[in-house]
Structure 1
């Protein structure tokens, strides 16, 4: 499988995050992508560079003012006489106005961010744009006939909404991949998020759309970040009603219960009639992850890959979370190796006509 990777991810480095009331070094680090890259290279996957996509390619899923904020945030921070890393100190909570973007950089940060755990540093924009280009390149490869491709995205993306950033995420890589597949001929895209944390940004982007089915298996927001989205009664709105499916699970969920939720998710994507698949591949469901609480052993990740492959769809796998750095690369490799097993053969591209009749998820 081709692995799309950019060394520009290294430019997003440093800073602290507010994690469960403590200011700590960021769990999302350069070492994550380096470990994955080395493991996949050792496993024989071909590493390819991302293509250059213009900034306008982001506007299918992100608001223009938000993109401009991210592009210029560090320069504005420096113009304000600041250095170090950027974290917001105030947010437009209930009872406050959300229709005005403050002119100053501190207020603007609070307007666009939804947590104090996602620092912006000097190289953040370069890294985020490179990650987006990795995802769009992987999607382009699949649209051009590859059975599957993997985007080694860092920073991750699934928490970034149309006009918000947080959860280590700035641009929504998986949403950009799904959007490109739609623009390149796919009629219906299934977007499955298997990260431990709910993909609130992806849900926001596709909330009113019926051309992308968003399905997420994640830790319950009753106790787990991002807390305020990801409940089972969230189903979409307008044209998108019925095209969001959330499958929240409690802390300490093991493989048996997780596998049942995974079967439900895969059945929903099949019933939808998707002709392409995007996977937000978080492996922070691993039992040793420092900021997550599922109990999946390393042996389960090849099983996950095999089940994803069984959908027999052209597939873009996009890296999201996973913070047990020592085991991260081998867990991702486990998914990709099983997905690429010779017993699986990809369907004939996004124009596939044998998909089941469309229906909403249930």
Structure 2
């Protein structure tokens, strides 16, 4: 399988992470990509560089105001003169009868859902590189590859049309799906991250052309807390094109595979022409965020089940944080996919 990767991800190296009132080093570190690369090399996948697609694929998903904010944010922040080493909001407007702000501090609050996505001098470059990685993988599939993997960092599935959150700035999985829509009338996104893909859900919640499915840890007890429940099914003409399958904290291989069987049945009924997998490896029993308990063999089974859906597939890297097993889990899921194909 071809795997798309860019060293430009290293320009985004966040430090700040607020955990229950304690400031810690974020788990979304550049080293994540090194461990994932080791997993790709162990699986003997062909690593290719991304094509620079420019703003077009990003603009299909994200608002002009948001893209402008991200591209100009660091310079505006630095111009304040007494600013810190990373951009972290001290307000988060709920947007009820609100006016779009003109000050950079106001824009930072408007465009971030939480404090888990600090913006540094290289964040925009890293996020753009990740979106190019995802778009390139989608283009490979459009050009005839059966499947392609996108090693995206920073991840993307918590990013809304105009709002960052949960380590995510640009929604790489949504961008890949929109690129596949240039060829296919319908596309499905299957999110297998331990966290609900709330940004992806929000982007497509009123669109009937992209079916979004998310298998994740119970949001009542786990991030993002307020999205990801089973009653969220889509709005208007898109009613029924969003499926959330929350799992009890600590669910292991067998319970996860039952949920994946349900997801595959729903995707088949939607009859899409292509599939995007928002591939989180943080459902691992060894992941530091400890929500679910999938084993390395379980990831192999997940890869096999995804392959059996039988669609041209783009696998876009989402979560999976620093653990000794991270690379092995990527090798397992991609190996399982290829074996079953």
- Does residue 250 of structure 2 align to residue 252 of structure 1? yes
Offset of residue 320 of structure 1: 0.2
* 8-17 or 163-172: bigger deviation: 8-17
1:292 Cα shift? 3.0
Tell me how far 1:252 sits from its aligned partner.
1.1
Q: 3-state DSSP class of the match of 1:246?
A: strand
- CA offset digits 1:126-175 (Å, max 9, x no partner): 00000000000000000110000000000000000111101000000000
Q: Write the mapping of 1:240-319 to structure 2, written as runs, cut at 5 A.
A: 240-319=238-317
Equivalent position of 1:151 in the other structure: 150
Equivalent residue, structure 2, for 1:105: 104
Residue in 2 that maps onto 1:69: 69
Q: What is the DSSP-based 3-state SS (H/G/I as helix, E as strand, rest coil) of the residue aligned with 2:325?
A: helix
Aligned pairs for 1:323-362 (under 5 A) are 323-341=321-339, 344=341
The gaps in structure 1 that reach 5 residues or longer are: 345-362
Aligned pair 1:87/2:88, yes or no?
Answer: yes
**Superposed displacement of residue 221, structure 1:** 1.2
Q: Is the 8 A contact 1:98 1:111 kept in 2?
A: no
Q: Is the 8 A contact 2:39 2:329 kept in 1?
A: no
- Distance in 1, Cα, partners of 2:251 & 2:39: 27
**What secondary structure is seen at the aligned counterpart in 2 of 1:39?**
helix
Secondary structure, in 3 states, of the residue corresponding to 2:324?
A: helix
2:197 is aligned with 1:199: yes
Q: Please give the alpha-carbon distance, in whole angstroms, between the structure 1 residues aligned to 2:304 and 2:96.
A: 48
Structure 2 Cα separation of the partners of residues 20 and 278 of structure 1: 33
Q: Hey, what's the Cα distance between the residues in 2 that align with 1:70 and 1:142? A: 29
Alpha-carbon deviation of 1:56? 2.8
Residues 273-301 of structure 1: CA deviation (Å, up to 9, x unaligned): 11110000001000111113211111111
Displacement after TM superposition at 1:112 (Å): 0.7
* 1:98 Cα deviation after fit: 5.7
Report how many residues are paired.
340
1:208 corresponds in structure 2 to 206
TM-score, normalised via structure 2 length: 0.97
Q: Distance in 2 between matches of 1:292 and 1:319?
A: 18
Give the whole-Å Cα distance in 1 for the aligned partners of 2:170 and 2:2.
Answer: 22
2:175 aligned residue: 176
Work out whether 1:115 is the aligned partner of 2:114: yes
Task: List runs of 5+ in structure 2 lacking aligned partners.
Answer: none
Indicate the RMSD between aligned Cα atoms, in angstroms. 1.1
* Structure 2 counterpart of 1:354: none
